[in-house]
Amino acid sequence: MAMEVGAEVKTGLKVYCSISEPLKVMISGAPASGKGTQCELICQKFGLVHISTGDLLRAEVSSGTEIGNKAKDFMNAGQLVPDEIVTAMVTARLSREDAKEKGWLLDGYPRSFSQAQSLEKMKIRPDIYIVLDVPDEILIDRCVGRRLDPVTGKIYHVKNFPPETEEIKARLVTRPDDTEEKVKSRLEIYKQNAEAISSTYSNILKKIDGNRPKEVVFEEIYSMLSQVQKDKVKPMKLGTTLESLNQASSGKDNWRGIPTRLNNIPHSREIRKYFYEDVLQATQRAINEGRTRLKVEINIPELNPEMDVYRIGTLMELVRVIALSFADDGKRVKVCVQGSMGEGALAGMPLQLAGTRKILEFMDWGDYGAMGNFINIGSIGAKEVDEQDDMFILVAPQNAVGNCIIDDLKAMTDAAENRPVILINPRLKDLPGSSGIMQTMGRDKRLEYAASFQSCYFFRLLYYMGTQYPIMGAIRMSYPYRYELYKRVDEPSGNEKYIILSTFPEKPNSDEINNAFLGKPRKEMGVDV
Protein backbone atom coordinates (compact mmCIF):
# COMPACT_ATOMS: atom_id res chain seq x y z
CA MET A 1 0.00 0.00 0.00
CA ALA A 2 1.68 3.21 -1.10
CA MET A 3 1.23 6.38 0.87
CA GLU A 4 1.53 9.89 -0.48
CA VAL A 5 1.85 12.88 1.75
CA GLY A 6 1.52 16.50 0.75
CA ALA A 7 1.26 19.69 2.78
CA GLU A 8 -0.66 22.87 2.19
CA VAL A 9 -0.20 26.01 4.26
CA LYS A 10 -2.97 28.58 4.26
CA THR A 11 -4.30 30.09 7.46
CA GLY A 12 -3.19 27.17 9.54
CA LEU A 13 -1.40 23.92 8.97
CA LYS A 14 -3.22 21.38 6.91
CA VAL A 15 -1.67 18.06 6.15
CA TYR A 16 -3.22 15.75 3.60
CA CYS A 17 -2.35 12.11 3.36
CA SER A 18 -3.58 9.69 0.82
CA ILE A 19 -3.46 5.95 0.68
CA SER A 20 -3.25 4.47 -2.79
CA GLU A 21 -3.96 0.81 -3.16
CA PRO A 22 -2.13 -1.02 -5.91
CA LEU A 23 -3.88 -1.38 -9.24
CA LYS A 24 -5.47 -4.65 -10.24
CA VAL A 25 -5.96 -4.97 -13.97
CA MET A 26 -7.23 -7.70 -16.27
CA ILE A 27 -6.63 -7.58 -19.99
CA SER A 28 -8.46 -9.76 -22.44
CA GLY A 29 -8.96 -10.09 -26.17
CA ALA A 30 -8.74 -12.58 -28.98
CA PRO A 31 -5.42 -14.26 -29.82
CA ALA A 32 -3.03 -11.64 -31.22
CA SER A 33 -5.27 -8.73 -30.28
CA GLY A 34 -2.14 -7.20 -28.77
CA LYS A 35 -2.44 -8.14 -25.08
CA GLY A 36 1.22 -9.03 -24.65
CA THR A 37 2.32 -5.91 -26.54
CA GLN A 38 0.18 -3.62 -24.38
CA CYS A 39 1.14 -5.43 -21.16
CA GLU A 40 4.78 -4.60 -21.79
CA LEU A 41 3.92 -0.89 -22.05
CA ILE A 42 1.52 -0.94 -19.07
CA CYS A 43 4.11 -2.56 -16.81
CA GLN A 44 6.75 -0.04 -17.84
CA LYS A 45 4.46 2.84 -16.86
CA PHE A 46 2.61 1.46 -13.84
CA GLY A 47 5.12 -1.03 -12.42
CA LEU A 48 2.53 -3.79 -12.12
CA VAL A 49 3.43 -7.46 -11.89
CA HIS A 50 2.59 -9.00 -15.27
CA ILE A 51 0.99 -12.41 -14.92
CA SER A 52 0.47 -14.00 -18.32
CA THR A 53 -0.88 -17.53 -18.24
CA GLY A 54 0.42 -18.08 -21.77
CA ASP A 55 3.95 -17.07 -20.71
CA LEU A 56 3.78 -19.06 -17.47
CA LEU A 57 2.64 -22.15 -19.37
CA ARG A 58 5.26 -21.73 -22.10
CA ALA A 59 7.94 -21.47 -19.39
CA GLU A 60 6.68 -24.72 -17.82
CA VAL A 61 6.73 -26.42 -21.23
CA SER A 62 10.25 -25.32 -22.04
CA SER A 63 11.52 -26.42 -18.61
CA GLY A 64 9.84 -29.81 -19.11
CA THR A 65 8.00 -29.68 -15.75
CA GLU A 66 5.05 -31.93 -14.91
CA ILE A 67 2.68 -29.00 -15.54
CA GLY A 68 4.45 -28.26 -18.82
CA ASN A 69 4.16 -31.84 -20.00
CA LYS A 70 0.45 -31.87 -19.21
CA ALA A 71 -0.15 -28.51 -20.91
CA LYS A 72 1.99 -28.96 -24.01
CA ASP A 73 -0.40 -30.93 -26.22
CA PHE A 74 -3.38 -28.69 -25.44
CA MET A 75 -1.38 -25.58 -26.26
CA ASN A 76 0.12 -26.92 -29.44
CA ALA A 77 -3.37 -27.86 -30.62
CA GLY A 78 -4.61 -24.35 -29.86
CA GLN A 79 -6.94 -25.61 -27.12
CA LEU A 80 -7.41 -24.45 -23.56
CA VAL A 81 -5.31 -26.14 -20.89
CA PRO A 82 -7.55 -27.74 -18.19
CA ASP A 83 -8.79 -25.27 -15.57
CA GLU A 84 -7.29 -26.96 -12.53
CA ILE A 85 -3.77 -26.61 -13.90
CA VAL A 86 -4.12 -22.97 -14.88
CA THR A 87 -6.16 -21.82 -11.87
CA ALA A 88 -3.69 -23.24 -9.34
CA MET A 89 -0.86 -21.58 -11.22
CA VAL A 90 -2.55 -18.19 -11.33
CA THR A 91 -3.72 -18.11 -7.71
CA ALA A 92 -0.28 -19.14 -6.48
CA ARG A 93 1.27 -16.32 -8.50
CA LEU A 94 -1.30 -13.74 -7.38
CA SER A 95 -0.70 -14.53 -3.73
CA ARG A 96 3.01 -13.73 -3.94
CA GLU A 97 4.13 -10.64 -2.06
CA ASP A 98 5.24 -8.63 -5.12
CA ALA A 99 1.78 -8.88 -6.72
CA LYS A 100 0.13 -7.72 -3.50
CA GLU A 101 2.52 -4.84 -3.06
CA LYS A 102 2.89 -3.56 -6.62
CA GLY A 103 -0.48 -4.59 -8.02
CA TRP A 104 -1.04 -6.99 -10.90
CA LEU A 105 -1.86 -7.19 -14.56
CA LEU A 106 -3.54 -10.47 -15.39
CA ASP A 107 -3.23 -11.44 -19.03
CA GLY A 108 -4.97 -14.48 -20.51
CA TYR A 109 -6.93 -15.39 -17.40
CA PRO A 110 -9.83 -15.92 -16.90
CA ARG A 111 -10.43 -17.54 -20.26
CA SER A 112 -13.67 -19.33 -19.43
CA PHE A 113 -16.72 -18.72 -17.29
CA SER A 114 -15.58 -21.29 -14.73
CA GLN A 115 -12.18 -19.60 -14.42
CA ALA A 116 -13.92 -16.27 -13.83
CA GLN A 117 -16.07 -17.90 -11.18
CA SER A 118 -13.02 -19.37 -9.45
CA LEU A 119 -11.64 -15.87 -9.03
CA GLU A 120 -14.98 -14.54 -7.86
CA LYS A 121 -15.19 -17.23 -5.20
CA MET A 122 -11.77 -16.23 -3.98
CA LYS A 123 -12.86 -12.59 -4.00
CA ILE A 124 -10.13 -11.76 -6.50
CA ARG A 125 -11.55 -8.89 -8.55
CA PRO A 126 -9.79 -6.43 -10.80
CA ASP A 127 -10.41 -2.69 -10.76
CA ILE A 128 -10.83 -2.71 -14.51
CA TYR A 129 -11.39 -5.33 -17.21
CA ILE A 130 -9.91 -4.23 -20.54
CA VAL A 131 -10.98 -5.97 -23.74
CA LEU A 132 -8.97 -5.36 -26.92
CA ASP A 133 -11.21 -5.51 -29.96
CA VAL A 134 -9.64 -6.42 -33.33
CA PRO A 135 -11.30 -7.81 -36.52
CA ASP A 136 -10.69 -11.51 -37.27
CA GLU A 137 -8.76 -11.13 -40.54
CA ILE A 138 -6.24 -8.81 -38.88
CA LEU A 139 -5.79 -11.22 -36.00
CA ILE A 140 -4.82 -14.04 -38.30
CA ASP A 141 -2.22 -11.93 -40.08
CA ARG A 142 -0.80 -10.77 -36.76
CA CYS A 143 -0.43 -14.31 -35.46
CA VAL A 144 1.10 -15.75 -38.57
CA GLY A 145 3.60 -12.88 -38.75
CA ARG A 146 4.44 -12.86 -35.04
CA ARG A 147 8.00 -13.70 -33.96
CA LEU A 148 9.41 -13.88 -30.43
CA ASP A 149 12.87 -13.07 -29.17
CA PRO A 150 13.76 -15.96 -26.82
CA VAL A 151 16.48 -13.84 -25.18
CA THR A 152 14.51 -10.68 -24.25
CA GLY A 153 10.95 -12.03 -24.51
CA LYS A 154 10.10 -9.12 -26.82
CA ILE A 155 7.30 -9.57 -29.35
CA TYR A 156 7.95 -8.69 -33.02
CA HIS A 157 5.99 -8.93 -36.25
CA VAL A 158 7.62 -9.61 -39.60
CA LYS A 159 5.85 -6.63 -41.19
CA ASN A 160 4.46 -4.44 -38.39
CA PHE A 161 7.38 -4.55 -35.95
CA PRO A 162 10.46 -6.05 -37.58
CA PRO A 163 13.49 -6.70 -35.37
CA GLU A 164 15.98 -3.89 -34.91
CA THR A 165 19.14 -5.83 -35.88
CA GLU A 166 20.18 -8.78 -38.02
CA GLU A 167 21.46 -10.48 -34.87
CA ILE A 168 18.03 -10.35 -33.25
CA LYS A 169 16.36 -11.39 -36.50
CA ALA A 170 18.52 -14.51 -36.65
CA ARG A 171 17.41 -15.74 -33.24
CA LEU A 172 13.65 -15.06 -33.51
CA VAL A 173 11.30 -18.01 -33.09
CA THR A 174 7.72 -18.73 -34.16
CA ARG A 175 5.20 -20.06 -31.64
CA PRO A 176 3.99 -23.57 -32.49
CA ASP A 177 0.35 -22.43 -32.11
CA ASP A 178 0.74 -19.56 -34.59
CA THR A 179 -0.26 -21.39 -37.78
CA GLU A 180 -3.35 -20.13 -39.58
CA GLU A 181 -5.31 -23.28 -38.80
CA LYS A 182 -4.54 -23.19 -35.06
CA VAL A 183 -5.22 -19.47 -34.81
CA LYS A 184 -8.69 -20.09 -36.25
CA SER A 185 -9.36 -22.73 -33.62
CA ARG A 186 -8.08 -20.43 -30.80
CA LEU A 187 -10.23 -17.62 -32.11
CA GLU A 188 -13.29 -19.88 -32.10
CA ILE A 189 -12.65 -20.93 -28.48
CA TYR A 190 -12.17 -17.28 -27.51
CA LYS A 191 -15.50 -16.30 -29.03
CA GLN A 192 -17.34 -19.15 -27.32
CA ASN A 193 -16.17 -17.94 -23.91
CA ALA A 194 -15.92 -14.17 -24.29
CA GLU A 195 -19.51 -13.27 -23.53
CA ALA A 196 -19.80 -15.32 -20.37
CA ILE A 197 -16.59 -13.85 -18.97
CA SER A 198 -17.60 -10.31 -19.90
CA SER A 199 -20.89 -10.71 -18.04
CA THR A 200 -18.92 -11.37 -14.84
CA TYR A 201 -17.14 -8.04 -15.20
CA SER A 202 -19.76 -6.00 -17.04
CA ASN A 203 -19.61 -3.10 -14.54
CA ILE A 204 -15.85 -2.60 -14.97
CA LEU A 205 -15.50 -3.62 -18.62
CA LYS A 206 -13.76 -1.20 -21.00
CA LYS A 207 -13.68 -2.17 -24.66
CA ILE A 208 -10.83 -0.65 -26.67
CA ASP A 209 -10.30 -0.58 -30.42
CA GLY A 210 -7.08 -2.58 -30.77
CA ASN A 211 -6.86 -2.11 -34.53
CA ARG A 212 -4.81 1.06 -34.28
CA PRO A 213 -1.09 1.67 -33.89
CA LYS A 214 0.09 0.22 -30.60
CA GLU A 215 1.07 3.67 -29.24
CA VAL A 216 -2.45 4.97 -29.88
CA VAL A 217 -4.01 1.96 -28.19
CA PHE A 218 -1.71 2.43 -25.24
CA GLU A 219 -2.55 6.11 -24.92
CA GLU A 220 -6.19 5.18 -24.33
CA ILE A 221 -5.28 2.45 -21.87
CA TYR A 222 -2.92 4.81 -20.07
CA SER A 223 -5.57 7.45 -19.52
CA MET A 224 -8.08 4.85 -18.29
CA LEU A 225 -5.65 3.32 -15.81
CA SER A 226 -4.54 6.75 -14.58
CA GLN A 227 -8.17 7.56 -13.86
CA VAL A 228 -8.73 4.27 -12.02
CA GLN A 229 -5.59 4.87 -10.01
CA LYS A 230 -6.79 8.36 -9.11
CA ASP A 231 -10.16 7.00 -8.00
CA LYS A 232 -8.42 4.49 -5.77
CA VAL A 233 -6.57 7.13 -3.80
CA LYS A 234 -8.56 7.79 -0.69
CA PRO A 235 -7.83 11.31 0.48
CA MET A 236 -7.37 11.68 4.21
CA LYS A 237 -6.72 14.60 6.48
CA LEU A 238 -3.83 14.23 8.89
CA GLY A 239 -1.99 10.92 9.49
CA THR A 240 -3.76 7.88 8.20
CA THR A 241 -4.17 6.01 11.42
CA LEU A 242 -4.95 8.97 13.56
CA GLU A 243 -7.42 10.31 11.10
CA SER A 244 -9.09 7.03 10.40
CA LEU A 245 -9.63 6.62 14.11
CA ASN A 246 -11.55 9.86 13.98
CA GLN A 247 -14.01 8.58 11.45
CA ALA A 248 -17.09 6.55 11.88
CA SER A 249 -17.17 3.75 9.36
CA SER A 250 -20.82 4.37 8.51
CA GLY A 251 -21.13 5.12 4.82
CA LYS A 252 -17.90 3.31 4.02
CA ASP A 253 -17.20 -0.17 2.72
CA ASN A 254 -20.81 -0.62 1.68
CA TRP A 255 -21.78 -0.85 5.33
CA ARG A 256 -25.53 -1.33 5.53
CA GLY A 257 -26.35 -0.26 9.07
CA ILE A 258 -27.00 -2.50 12.04
CA PRO A 259 -29.43 -5.28 11.16
CA THR A 260 -32.70 -5.26 13.05
CA ARG A 261 -34.56 -8.06 14.84
CA LEU A 262 -31.52 -9.09 16.81
CA ASN A 263 -33.83 -10.37 19.54
CA ASN A 264 -35.25 -12.99 17.20
CA ILE A 265 -33.60 -16.30 17.90
CA PRO A 266 -32.25 -18.17 16.06
CA HIS A 267 -30.76 -15.30 14.09
CA SER A 268 -31.71 -15.32 10.45
CA ARG A 269 -29.12 -16.41 7.91
CA GLU A 270 -28.92 -12.82 6.65
CA ILE A 271 -28.07 -11.51 10.11
CA ARG A 272 -25.34 -14.09 10.60
CA LYS A 273 -23.96 -13.41 7.15
CA TYR A 274 -24.02 -9.69 7.82
CA PHE A 275 -21.86 -10.03 10.91
CA TYR A 276 -19.48 -12.54 9.34
CA GLU A 277 -18.82 -10.09 6.53
CA ASP A 278 -18.53 -7.12 8.86
CA VAL A 279 -15.95 -8.93 11.01
CA LEU A 280 -14.10 -10.20 7.95
CA GLN A 281 -13.71 -6.76 6.38
CA ALA A 282 -12.36 -5.25 9.59
CA THR A 283 -9.94 -8.14 10.07
CA GLN A 284 -8.71 -7.92 6.50
CA ARG A 285 -8.11 -4.19 6.80
CA ALA A 286 -6.10 -4.66 9.98
CA ILE A 287 -3.99 -7.50 8.57
CA ASN A 288 -3.41 -5.61 5.32
CA GLU A 289 -2.07 -2.73 7.38
CA GLY A 290 0.42 -5.07 9.02
CA ARG A 291 -1.28 -5.51 12.43
CA THR A 292 -0.34 -8.81 13.98
CA ARG A 293 -1.98 -9.08 17.41
CA LEU A 294 -5.70 -8.71 16.97
CA LYS A 295 -8.89 -9.50 18.76
CA VAL A 296 -12.47 -9.73 17.59
CA GLU A 297 -15.17 -9.30 20.19
CA ILE A 298 -18.67 -9.86 18.93
CA ASN A 299 -21.50 -10.32 21.29
CA ILE A 300 -24.77 -10.84 19.43
CA PRO A 301 -27.10 -13.19 21.36
CA GLU A 302 -26.04 -16.35 19.49
CA LEU A 303 -22.41 -15.58 20.19
CA ASN A 304 -22.88 -14.68 23.83
CA PRO A 305 -22.09 -17.72 25.98
CA GLU A 306 -23.88 -16.10 28.90
CA MET A 307 -27.21 -16.30 27.08
CA ASP A 308 -29.32 -19.42 26.72
CA VAL A 309 -29.45 -18.92 22.97
CA TYR A 310 -25.67 -19.24 22.55
CA ARG A 311 -24.86 -21.43 19.53
CA ILE A 312 -21.45 -22.85 18.99
CA GLY A 313 -22.30 -23.36 15.31
CA THR A 314 -22.47 -19.61 14.81
CA LEU A 315 -19.01 -19.17 16.32
CA MET A 316 -17.66 -21.95 14.10
CA GLU A 317 -19.21 -20.40 10.99
CA LEU A 318 -17.65 -17.06 11.80
CA VAL A 319 -14.24 -18.70 12.23
CA ARG A 320 -14.67 -20.57 8.96
CA VAL A 321 -15.54 -17.44 6.98
CA ILE A 322 -12.45 -15.63 8.26
CA ALA A 323 -10.11 -18.60 7.86
CA LEU A 324 -11.28 -19.47 4.35
CA SER A 325 -11.03 -15.90 3.18
CA PHE A 326 -7.36 -15.70 4.16
CA ALA A 327 -6.75 -19.21 2.81
CA ASP A 328 -8.23 -18.05 -0.51
CA ASP A 329 -5.56 -15.37 -0.52
CA GLY A 330 -2.97 -18.14 -0.37
CA LYS A 331 -2.28 -17.92 3.39
CA ARG A 332 -1.82 -21.06 5.46
CA VAL A 333 -4.15 -20.53 8.38
CA LYS A 334 -4.02 -22.51 11.61
CA VAL A 335 -7.32 -22.52 13.47
CA CYS A 336 -6.58 -23.24 17.12
CA VAL A 337 -8.79 -24.24 20.00
CA GLN A 338 -7.46 -24.93 23.46
CA GLY A 339 -7.50 -28.51 24.70
CA SER A 340 -8.51 -29.85 28.07
CA MET A 341 -6.95 -27.85 30.91
CA GLY A 342 -6.16 -28.37 34.52
CA GLU A 343 -5.61 -31.47 36.60
CA GLY A 344 -7.58 -33.76 38.87
CA ALA A 345 -11.07 -32.63 39.71
CA LEU A 346 -10.61 -29.43 37.77
CA ALA A 347 -9.50 -31.03 34.50
CA GLY A 348 -11.78 -30.17 31.64
CA MET A 349 -12.74 -27.87 28.91
CA PRO A 350 -14.35 -24.43 29.29
CA LEU A 351 -18.04 -25.05 28.61
CA GLN A 352 -18.11 -22.67 25.67
CA LEU A 353 -15.53 -24.77 23.85
CA ALA A 354 -16.81 -28.28 24.54
CA GLY A 355 -16.80 -30.26 21.31
CA THR A 356 -15.32 -27.39 19.31
CA ARG A 357 -12.30 -29.19 18.00
CA LYS A 358 -14.38 -32.10 16.69
CA ILE A 359 -16.76 -29.70 14.99
CA LEU A 360 -13.84 -27.90 13.36
CA GLU A 361 -12.42 -31.17 12.09
CA PHE A 362 -15.69 -32.34 10.60
CA MET A 363 -16.79 -29.02 9.17
CA ASP A 364 -17.10 -28.46 5.45
CA TRP A 365 -13.98 -26.53 4.48
CA GLY A 366 -14.87 -26.09 0.82
CA ASP A 367 -14.30 -27.96 -2.40
CA TYR A 368 -10.78 -26.78 -2.98
CA GLY A 369 -9.06 -29.12 -0.57
CA ALA A 370 -8.27 -26.25 1.77
CA MET A 371 -8.34 -28.51 4.84
CA GLY A 372 -4.94 -30.03 5.58
CA ASN A 373 -3.38 -27.67 3.13
CA PHE A 374 -4.30 -24.03 3.62
CA ILE A 375 -6.35 -24.70 6.75
CA ASN A 376 -5.04 -26.71 9.67
CA ILE A 377 -6.53 -27.31 13.08
CA GLY A 378 -4.37 -26.96 16.16
CA SER A 379 -4.37 -26.30 19.85
CA ILE A 380 -2.92 -23.40 21.84
CA GLY A 381 0.76 -23.44 22.77
CA ALA A 382 4.22 -22.81 21.39
CA LYS A 383 4.55 -26.27 19.87
CA GLU A 384 1.50 -25.61 17.67
CA VAL A 385 3.44 -23.03 15.68
CA ASP A 386 4.86 -24.63 12.54
CA GLU A 387 7.20 -22.98 10.11
CA GLN A 388 4.73 -23.16 7.23
CA ASP A 389 1.87 -21.47 9.15
CA ASP A 390 1.22 -17.94 7.93
CA MET A 391 -1.31 -16.91 10.56
CA PHE A 392 -3.31 -18.18 13.51
CA ILE A 393 -6.95 -17.86 14.48
CA LEU A 394 -7.58 -18.71 18.12
CA VAL A 395 -11.16 -19.69 18.89
CA ALA A 396 -12.41 -18.09 22.11
CA PRO A 397 -9.28 -18.62 24.21
CA GLN A 398 -10.26 -18.34 27.84
CA ASN A 399 -9.21 -18.90 31.38
CA ALA A 400 -11.03 -21.62 33.20
CA VAL A 401 -11.59 -21.80 36.92
CA GLY A 402 -8.29 -22.88 38.41
CA ASN A 403 -6.43 -22.60 35.17
CA CYS A 404 -4.94 -19.78 33.18
CA ILE A 405 -4.51 -19.95 29.42
CA ILE A 406 -2.32 -16.86 29.19
CA ASP A 407 1.07 -18.52 29.63
CA ASP A 408 0.35 -20.96 26.78
CA LEU A 409 -1.02 -18.12 24.71
CA LYS A 410 2.05 -16.00 25.31
CA ALA A 411 4.40 -18.84 24.45
CA MET A 412 2.45 -19.32 21.25
CA THR A 413 2.50 -15.68 20.19
CA ASP A 414 6.23 -15.49 20.99
CA ALA A 415 6.79 -18.45 18.71
CA ALA A 416 4.58 -16.91 16.01
CA GLU A 417 6.84 -13.83 16.01
CA ASN A 418 5.52 -11.35 13.45
CA ARG A 419 2.84 -13.62 11.98
CA PRO A 420 -0.74 -12.49 12.67
CA VAL A 421 -2.62 -14.01 15.61
CA ILE A 422 -6.34 -13.26 15.78
CA LEU A 423 -8.29 -13.99 18.94
CA ILE A 424 -12.00 -14.53 18.37
CA ASN A 425 -14.06 -13.70 21.44
CA PRO A 426 -11.28 -14.15 23.98
CA ARG A 427 -12.05 -14.16 27.72
CA LEU A 428 -8.78 -13.51 29.38
CA LYS A 429 -9.90 -11.91 32.63
CA ASP A 430 -8.62 -13.49 35.81
CA LEU A 431 -10.91 -16.12 37.28
CA PRO A 432 -10.85 -17.43 40.84
CA GLY A 433 -8.32 -20.19 41.46
CA SER A 434 -9.27 -23.61 42.81
CA SER A 435 -9.25 -22.37 46.37
CA GLY A 436 -11.45 -19.42 45.55
CA ILE A 437 -8.50 -17.07 45.86
CA MET A 438 -7.62 -14.95 42.84
CA GLN A 439 -4.52 -16.09 41.03
CA THR A 440 -2.31 -13.17 41.82
CA MET A 441 1.10 -14.50 40.76
CA GLY A 442 2.16 -12.48 37.71
CA ARG A 443 -1.36 -11.09 37.41
CA ASP A 444 -0.29 -7.66 36.21
CA LYS A 445 1.94 -9.13 33.54
CA ARG A 446 -0.85 -11.41 32.35
CA LEU A 447 -3.38 -8.62 32.14
CA GLU A 448 -0.88 -6.41 30.37
CA TYR A 449 -0.26 -9.18 27.87
CA ALA A 450 -4.01 -9.74 27.35
CA ALA A 451 -4.41 -6.03 26.68
CA SER A 452 -1.66 -6.03 24.07
CA PHE A 453 -4.07 -7.41 21.47
CA GLN A 454 -5.58 -4.64 19.42
CA SER A 455 -9.31 -4.66 18.90
CA CYS A 456 -10.09 -4.95 15.19
CA TYR A 457 -13.81 -5.59 15.61
CA PHE A 458 -16.16 -4.92 18.48
CA PHE A 459 -19.91 -5.32 18.61
CA ARG A 460 -22.05 -5.38 21.71
CA LEU A 461 -25.74 -4.92 22.25
CA LEU A 462 -26.75 -2.62 25.07
CA TYR A 463 -29.65 -3.41 27.38
CA TYR A 464 -31.40 -1.48 30.08
CA MET A 465 -30.14 -2.40 33.52
CA GLY A 466 -31.31 -5.83 34.65
CA THR A 467 -33.23 -6.74 31.50
CA GLN A 468 -32.52 -8.24 28.15
CA TYR A 469 -35.49 -6.72 26.44
CA PRO A 470 -35.91 -4.41 24.69
CA ILE A 471 -32.49 -3.78 23.19
CA MET A 472 -31.40 -0.25 24.08
CA GLY A 473 -28.70 0.20 21.49
CA ALA A 474 -25.36 -1.08 20.32
CA ILE A 475 -21.68 -0.28 20.18
CA ARG A 476 -19.78 -1.15 17.03
CA MET A 477 -16.16 -0.65 16.03
CA SER A 478 -14.69 -1.84 12.78
CA TYR A 479 -10.97 -1.29 12.27
CA PRO A 480 -9.62 1.35 11.68
CA TYR A 481 -12.65 3.49 12.46
CA ARG A 482 -14.04 4.85 15.69
CA TYR A 483 -16.34 3.21 18.21
CA GLU A 484 -19.91 4.05 17.20
CA LEU A 485 -22.73 4.28 19.68
CA TYR A 486 -26.23 3.51 18.39
CA LYS A 487 -29.66 3.89 19.86
CA ARG A 488 -32.41 1.48 18.85
CA VAL A 489 -35.68 3.25 18.09
CA ASP A 490 -39.15 1.90 17.37
CA GLU A 491 -40.75 3.40 14.32
CA PRO A 492 -44.51 4.10 14.09
CA SER A 493 -44.69 1.45 11.33
CA GLY A 494 -43.71 -1.17 13.91
CA ASN A 495 -40.24 -1.57 12.47
CA GLU A 496 -37.12 -0.72 14.39
CA LYS A 497 -33.90 0.99 13.40
CA TYR A 498 -30.56 1.99 14.86
CA ILE A 499 -29.48 5.61 14.78
CA ILE A 500 -25.96 6.76 15.52
CA LEU A 501 -25.63 8.94 18.64
CA SER A 502 -21.94 9.51 18.88
CA THR A 503 -18.50 8.18 18.04
CA PHE A 504 -15.50 7.67 20.31
CA PRO A 505 -11.79 7.09 19.70
CA GLU A 506 -11.75 4.48 22.51
CA LYS A 507 -14.39 2.11 23.80
CA PRO A 508 -16.87 4.35 25.65
CA ASN A 509 -17.40 3.72 29.36
CA SER A 510 -20.83 3.55 30.97
CA ASP A 511 -20.86 7.28 31.86
CA GLU A 512 -20.09 8.23 28.28
CA ILE A 513 -22.82 5.91 27.02
CA ASN A 514 -25.38 7.23 29.49
CA ASN A 515 -24.52 10.84 28.69
CA ALA A 516 -24.90 10.21 24.98
CA PHE A 517 -28.31 8.59 25.55
CA LEU A 518 -29.33 11.53 27.72
CA GLY A 519 -28.27 13.91 24.96
CA LYS A 520 -25.57 15.59 27.05
CA PRO A 521 -22.87 17.27 24.97
CA ARG A 522 -19.54 15.53 25.06
CA LYS A 523 -16.11 17.08 24.92
CA GLU A 524 -14.81 16.12 21.49
CA MET A 525 -11.75 14.02 21.94
CA GLY A 526 -10.89 13.57 18.28
CA VAL A 527 -8.11 15.52 16.66
CA ASP A 528 -9.27 18.12 14.19
CA VAL A 529 -6.76 20.16 12.28
Neighbours of 331 (CB within 10 A): 18
14 contacts 236 by C-beta, under 8 angstroms:
no
Minimum Å gap between C-beta 328 and ligand AP5 is 18
Binding site for ligand AP5 (CB under 6 A): 29, 31-37, 53-54, 57, 74-75, 78-81, 86, 108-109, 111, 115, 142, 145-146, 155-157, 160-161, 177, 186, 213-214, 217
Minimum Å gap between C-beta 184 and ligand AP5 is 12
Minimum Å gap between C-beta 206 and ligand AP5 is 16
Cβ proximity to ligand AP5: between 63 and 493 the closer is 63
Quick check: is 272 catalytic?
no
- From CA 223, how far away is CA 208, in angstroms rounded? 12
Put the strands of the sheet holding 13-20 in their side by side order: 2-9, 13-20, 234-237
Minimum Å gap between C-beta 81 and ligand AP5 is 4
**Residue whose C-alpha is closest to residue 329's, from 123, 111, 129:** 123
CA dihedral 277, 279, 284, 287 (to 10 degrees): -170
445 contacts 318 by C-beta, under 8 angstroms:
no
28 contacts 131 by C-beta, under 8 angstroms:
yes
Relative orientation angle of helices 83-94 and 66-76, to the nearest 10 degrees: 120
Quick check: is 476 catalytic?
no
Cβ proximity to ligand AP5: between 99 and 303 the closer is 99
| Omega within 30 of 0 (cis) for the link into 266 | yes
Quick check: is 96 catalytic?
no
Cβ proximity to ligand AP5: between 168 and 233 the closer is 168
Minimum Å gap between C-beta 111 and ligand AP5 is 4
- From CA 283, how far away is CA 296, in angstroms rounded? 8
Put the strands of the sheet holding 49-52 in their side by side order: 49-52, 104-107, 24-29, 128-133, 205-209
323 contacts 338 by C-beta, under 8 angstroms:
no
Cβ proximity to ligand AP5: between 80 and 456 the closer is 80
Cβ proximity to ligand AP5: between 177 and 329 the closer is 177
Catalytic residues, which ones? 35, 111, 146, 175, 186
